[in-house]
Amino acid sequence: MHIVVLGMNHKTASVELRERVSLSEDALERLLQELRDSRTVMESVVLSTCNRTELYALVNSIRAGQDYLLTRFAGMAGLDKSLVESSTYFIQGEQAVAHAMRVASGLDSVVVGETQILGQMRTAFQTAFEAGNTGAMFNRLFREVIHVGKRAQAETTIGQSPVSVSYAAVQLASKFFGDMSNRKALVVGAGHMGELALVHLHALGVRHLVVANRTLERAQSLTETVSATVISLADVAGALAQFDVVISATGAPGYTIQALDVELAMKMRKHQSMVLLDIAMPRDIDPAVGALSGAYLYDVDDLDGVIEANLQERKRQAAVVESMIAESVDAFSKWLTEQEVVPLITALREKGLSIQQGVMDSLLRKLPDLTERDRKVLNKHTMSIVNQILRDPIQNVKELAMASGDAEYVSLFAQLFGIDESSLQSPGASVTGATAHFASEGTFVELFQRMRGEAKRLSEDKRVIHPVLR
């Protein structure tokens, strides 16, 4: 079996194409049903957001899996496969697992470190789980993926440094004044950037918020989510004196806030500090304001330095998250191998118990006059013999399989101890499909020689990956 992902995101496809493969709730339900009915896909999870659509699948053939998933994508887009293929990416094995973890951690987002994607990944897995599209493999995988995403948020500051102009502007005002709860703020312009500024100010605890806009209806619509007062753009000049923070983002031609109006406001404030943040392009605030006493003016160029510094900090934090991801991929690989070893250990112990029980039955028939105490002593010691004989083989198969990440030794040990491989199929083993037959590859002596060579190599190379992740 192979873990793969076929996807399309903001890096590979236009917004128009991404919209065509974005899934409604009904469309997602239909796609999950198609994936469940497929003979190519064993398990699946579908992630669909505004910036990406990805199909995670456990497939029995990489080539067939890629073709099948691409066919599904083309159907969703209503386009020929060749047109869709150039805008998608296909990742398999260890890289697919790492990719899922990078997505959940926000490392593959438009804004590195954003946190919304973790909730979207959790919802995607939960939806697939409830629909019956996941099994032992993906249940474990996506719990690990979500765990890594949580660690990235809890143990690093990757999502805390502002990297949008609106957020940087608000954070700059916060650094200037400290506690913002008693400050009064004016947002001029009710467009997207003005709306974000209003939301960020509210999040910092600013209780006195005012929105000014040419169209009062648009400004009023922003107050549905954030409590704020609305005024007309024409009233801004006369109201400036009451505000500690002014953020302007209208994008209108000419200066919306004149230097003379700010100068009069500063006199009325008795020169108490005012921070003005011009995040519009072209600029909204007359640059001459920066020369006024007590007025601190910052424009987009000033904020670019803050944003760049924060982007560099996010990159440093991203390196920490990448280390977490590498650890989690290794842990998942070891879990895969454990699913191969556990059934063999169980089968060995059951066979040992069966042999011991057979010997005890024979002894009791031949020695019918044994006391109850004699029987207990014989049972204890015969069981001890079995345990001692099996102890080293069990330990060795665990260590060798865990070290190599390969199920070859599970099959070999099964042959050595005369265990039918069909009895080794557990839920974990069946999904990995890694058990193989090697009887035709040579004698047991040759196989043991290969094992010794492999053990020596593994002692020098500590990091190994399970075949499913290759």
Q: Tens of pLDDT along 298-347?
A: 998 888 777 777 778 878 888 999 999 999 998 898 888 777 777 777 88
Give the count of beta carbons closer than 10 Å to the beta carbon of residue 134: 23
CA–CA dist 175, 296 (Å, integer): 13
189 marked as part of a ligand binding site: yes
357 marked as part of a ligand binding site: no
Q: How much is the pLDDT for 429? A: 34
- Of 470, 360, 466, nearest to 410 (Cα)? 466
Confidence of residue 225 (pLDDT cuts 50, 70, 90): confident
Q: How much is the pLDDT for 439? A: 32
- Interior angle at CA 187, CA 183 and CA 192, nearest 5: 135
Higher pLDDT, 15 or 61: 61
Q: How far is CA 207 from CA 145, 181, 294, 434, 461, in A?
A: 38, 6, 23, 61, 60
Cβ atoms of residues 109 and 51 within 8 Å: yes
Range 19-44 average pLDDT: 93
Longest dimension (CA), the chain: 116
pLDDT, the chain, mean: 85
Cβ atoms of residues 413 and 393 within 8 Å: yes
Residues tagged active-site = 50
CA–centroid distance for 280 within its chain: 34
The domains located in the chain, with CATH, are: 2-155 (3.30.460.30), 165-293 (3.40.50.720), 329-469 (no CATH)
50 marked as part of a ligand binding site: yes
The verdict on whether omega for the bond into residue 282 sits within 30 degrees of 0, i.e. cis, is yes
For residue range 125-151, list pLDDT tens digits in order: 999 999 999 999 999 999 999 999 999
- Of 31, 98, 97, 90, nearest to 66 (Cα)? 90
Both tokens of residue 436? 């193989």
**45 beta partners:** 56
Is the entire prediction scored with pTM above 0.85?
no
14 marked as part of a ligand binding site: no
Give me the sheet containing 295-299, strands edge to edge. Answer: 229-232, 208-213, 184-188, 245-248, 274-278, 295-299
113 marked as part of a ligand binding site: no
- Of 33, 43, 38, 32, nearest to 1 (Cα)? 43
